[in-house]
Structure 1
Amino acid sequence: FTLETVRCIGCCSLGPVVTINEKVYARTDSEKTLKTVDQYD
């Protein structure tokens, strides 16, 4: 994986947001993000 900070992906009302392979994961936190990333391993 590559982790990048970006300025805007047009989802401010859904933030914080993580995108993986162009799929948006909205209203996430560090714990949810780790679980999401684990699904891709």
Structure 2
Amino acid sequence: MQVVSGGYGREQVHFVAPNADRLSDELDKFLSWFNTSSNEPPMAG
């Protein structure tokens, strides 16, 4: 899956989702990171 904007011939890809065969592993990594406590401050914007 891709998130794309722009007219025909001038498309810009903003996001490309991981392939389905990688999704389970990537989700496990994210949840492990999310559920780990850390003393680091949140990212600043």
Same fold (TM over 0.5): no
| Band the TM-score falls in, shorter-chain normalisation | 0.3 to 0.5
TM-score scaled to structure 2, two decimals?
0.32
TM-score scaled to structure 1, two decimals?
0.34
The structure in which a higher percent of residues are strand is 2
